[in-house]
A and B are shown apart, each in its own frame.
Chain A
Amino acid sequence: MRNRNATAYRFLTPYLLIFAVFWVWPIISSFLISFQATRTVPWRFAPAFNWGRLIGDPAFFNALKNTLLILVIQVPVMIALAMVMAVLLNSPLLKARGLYRFAFFAPVVVGEVAYSAVFRLMFNLNFGIINKLLNSVGLPSIDWFSNVTPAMALIMIAVTWRWAGYNAIILLAGMQSIPEDVYEAATLDRVSKLKQFFFITLPLLKPVIVFCLVLSIIGTMQLFTEPFLITERGGPGGGTETLGLLLYRQGFRSLNFGYASAVAYTMAGLAIAITLVQLWLTREKQ
């Protein structure tokens, strides 16, 4: 028995080595670095330097606020939108269903850099099509990139555009696994379509919705690309800076690795806390 284990571990060695060097060590190392003052060489041990700053740092709370704002507004809107799309896709009246499914899913396939560049052009103040459309219906141009609220809205629009279809496809798969006879029985009892949706589809779809929510929340906690590329590194003036961007900026622009590590651990703690709350809220009731 012991021999068999040894053989198994020998086969696992390459993976375990890589895991130790590239995962375990950085996790420990960054934890240690978070207790060091890294503004000047040589680094020195000073726990209050980074953690003390974190508690009172407006930039940290700004990034936290932005991240949570996206979480609270964008995620529910996107899931609701995905639900509508899934219901429409599931409709027997729909022709060319495959084409629509592909079209809704396509944004995920587009490269992040490419779609960010296109969004920057579309929302350009003077030359973008969005402002031209607004003007054509008599609305004034919006300076999307230079004011905090429009910039935030822009990030939410972009993320929703990219991920709503993806969630719709997951929800659609869930809907199609609901047995047809439940609906037939409901129809025989003269339950309206709307009521069928709220009292049959939604409850039976709950595990799938939770799955989509978990994925989206994790994605939002890690949100980086869109504010990095579309609003130019969290602009204007940190108005769309997320926790991921703050970490990046502190670590790789200001070369303040200690503080970046402290932010990273705070993010991880936050993600764990949110996940625990979520698991508790969606637990199966006995």
Chain B
Amino acid sequence: MRITMTCAALALALGSAPAFAQSGEITIWSWNIAASSLKATIAGFNKQFPDVKVTVQDLGNQPTYDKSIAGCAAGGVGLPDIVSIENGEAENYWSQFPDCFVDLHTLGYTAQDQAKFPDFKRTELEVGDKAYAMPWDSGPVAAFYRRDFYEKAGVDPASIKTWDDFIAAGKKIQAANPGVSMTNADFNGDSEFFRMISNEQGCAYFAADGQSITVNQPKCVDAMTKVKEMKDAGIVSSADWGTKITNNTAGTVATQIYGGWYEGTIRTESAGESGKWGVYLMPSLTADGPRAANLGGSSLAITSASKNKEAAYAYLKYTLGTNEGQITMLKEFGLVPSLVSALNDPYVSQGLPYWGGQAVWKDILGTLPKVVPSRGTQFQSDAEIIVRAVQTKYLAGGYADAKAALDDAANQIAAATGLPVKS
């Protein structure tokens, strides 16, 4: 009896131990520069929590999902303490494995903490009164361009306001710089241009409430039409993630259009091209149309299998919930903070040497308030694969027009998910 009492007292004492007494090891699964940026915050974290050993494993994007799903399906076996999840994929996890991740409220995540992040980053991470993950970075879209290629063709990036301007500029730039493509798209395994332009125009695969399919709405049709016009104009050459990086370094591409997190990829992977790159806003469909969109952006969740949940939460709170942690990741690898207060950090308005002295973050982050939320829903990966198939067929001339293509996509998504197509 006495032993039990002692144990209970001990457990109580441990449970309520103050944060600075955290110790032990935590492991995190992540990918590419996102993993690198997490590694960059460990030093700062360890100043406050010297006894917590943080290990970040860079598994690559798909393998992180594959292993996380296998782990959740196996009831938590083999999972690390923290996993990275892109917002668009997040709802699938919560709905299929509600017990795989910890409700952060139980670890001290208060409504006040939640309010430090924008709503569009939180919708997918919070179900009912549970918060399954903490927002990490977002992906305000920007055009990253090679100043020298544009100059040689006499193209002023400030004059590119619409996608039609972009196509015209692309033809000029390709003529003036033999062997250079205006831009790259991953026609093998992605639909990034369609998603970016759709989001810019306020259209998404699903309605904001997640209850109907909107992929064939007029603005999405316009976006898909424009993707084909760009491809048919010959200004887009295909390249996957790795080949895009190779092209950046080899000087065979003039523009990359991606989420803001790509800043770090260009800067760290193509370090030798310092000073040659610049940034401008993504073009729109009309001269006065919106020029802001979001692509990607992730969150971090703590697994129920974690043996060190308090230490894991302490790490999240430092890395994602403080300006210091978020600015470290922005500085080192260009991860765009979700934490609103971090956007006022002096670093954001600095001119950066790699970008020829341009204060790129001011430009990129300035678009954030204009981003229209685009909800992934739990059916995102189903819908995405259907859209890719339809896009491939449409670009190869398999449909009369984009409307017919996206009607087909909408019907296929309806068959796969049981949701109605919005009329």
- Where the two chains meet, the residues of A that have a C-beta atom closer than 8 Å to any C-beta of B are 39-41, 53, 56-59, 62, 124-127, 143, 145-148, 151, 231-233, 235-239, 249, 252-256
* Chain B contacts with A in 299-325, Cβ cutoff 8 A: none
Complex A-B: 10 CB contacts under 8 Å: A39-B418, A53-B416, A125-B238, A126-B246, A145-B187, A147-B396, A148-B396, A236-B388, A255-B92, A256-B382
Residue B115 interfacial (CB < 8 Å)? no
* Chain B contacts with A in 367-423, Cβ cutoff 8 A: 378-379, 381-382, 385-386, 388-393, 396, 412, 415-418
Residue B32 interfacial (CB < 8 Å)? no
* Chain B contacts with A in 242-296, Cβ cutoff 8 A: 243, 246-247, 250, 252
A41 to B91, CA, bound (A): 13
Residue B96 interfacial (CB < 8 Å)? yes
A residues less than 8 Å from B119 (CB atoms): none
A146 to B390, CA, bound (A): 13
Known contacts A41-B96, A252-B70, A124 near B388 by CB under 8 Å: no
Cross-chain contact B416 with A237 (CB below 8 angstroms): no
- Where the two chains meet, the residues of B that have a C-beta atom closer than 8 Å to any C-beta of A are 62, 65-66, 69-70, 92-93, 95-98, 187-189, 237-240, 243, 246-247, 250, 252, 378-379, 381-382, 385-386, 388-393, 396, 412, 415-418
Cross-chain contact A235 with B95 (CB below 8 angstroms): no
Known contacts A252-B66, A252-B70, A255-B96, A126 near B188 by CB under 8 Å: no
Which among B92, B96, B385 is the interface contact of A59 at CB below 8 angstroms?
B385
Cross-chain contact A126 with B237 (CB below 8 angstroms): yes
Between B65, B96, B188, B412, the greatest number of chain A beta carbons within 10 A of the residue's beta carbon is seen for B188
B residues less than 8 Å from A253 (CB atoms): 65, 69, 381, 385
A146 to B187, CA, bound (A): 5
B residues less than 8 Å from A59 (CB atoms): 385-386, 389, 412, 416
Closest to A149 in B: B396
A16 to B16, CA, bound (A): 49
A residues less than 8 Å from B412 (CB atoms): 58-59
A residues less than 8 Å from B246 (CB atoms): 126-127
Measured CB to CB, the closest approach of chain A to B420, in angstroms, equals 15
A266 to B69, CA, bound (A): 24
Cross-chain contact B393 with A237 (CB below 8 angstroms): yes
A236 to B66, CA, bound (A): 20
Where chain B touches its partner, the secondary structure class is: helix
Cross-chain contact B382 with A238 (CB below 8 angstroms): no
Cross-chain contact A145 with B240 (CB below 8 angstroms): yes
Known contacts A57-B415, A233-B189, A148 near B392 by CB under 8 Å: yes
Known contacts A41-B95, A57-B416, A255-B69, A125 near B391 by CB under 8 Å: no
A106 to B44, CA, bound (A): 51
A236 to B240, CA, bound (A): 11
Measured CB to CB, the closest approach of chain A to B360, in angstroms, equals 27
A253 to B97, CA, bound (A): 13
A233 to B388, CA, bound (A): 12
Cross-chain contact B189 with A238 (CB below 8 angstroms): no
B residues less than 8 Å from A233 (CB atoms): 62, 189
A239 to B389, CA, bound (A): 7
B residues less than 8 Å from A57 (CB atoms): 415-416
Please give 16 more A-B residue pairs, beta carbons under 8 A apart, in addition to A126-B237, A238-B392.
A41-B96, A53-B416, A56-B415, A126-B239, A126-B247, A145-B188, A146-B187, A148-B392, A148-B396, A232-B188, A233-B189, A237-B391, A237-B393, A249-B381, A252-B70, A255-B69
A237 to B188, CA, bound (A): 7
Measured CB to CB, the closest approach of chain A to B421, in angstroms, equals 15
B residues less than 8 Å from A58 (CB atoms): 412
A residues less than 8 Å from B69 (CB atoms): 252-253, 255
The 6 residue pairs across chains A and B that have the minimum distance between CB atoms = A237-B392, A146-B187, A146-B238, A237-B389, A145-B188, A235-B188
Cross-chain contact A125 with B239 (CB below 8 angstroms): yes
A62 to B412, CA, bound (A): 13
Cross-chain contact A53 with B415 (CB below 8 angstroms): yes
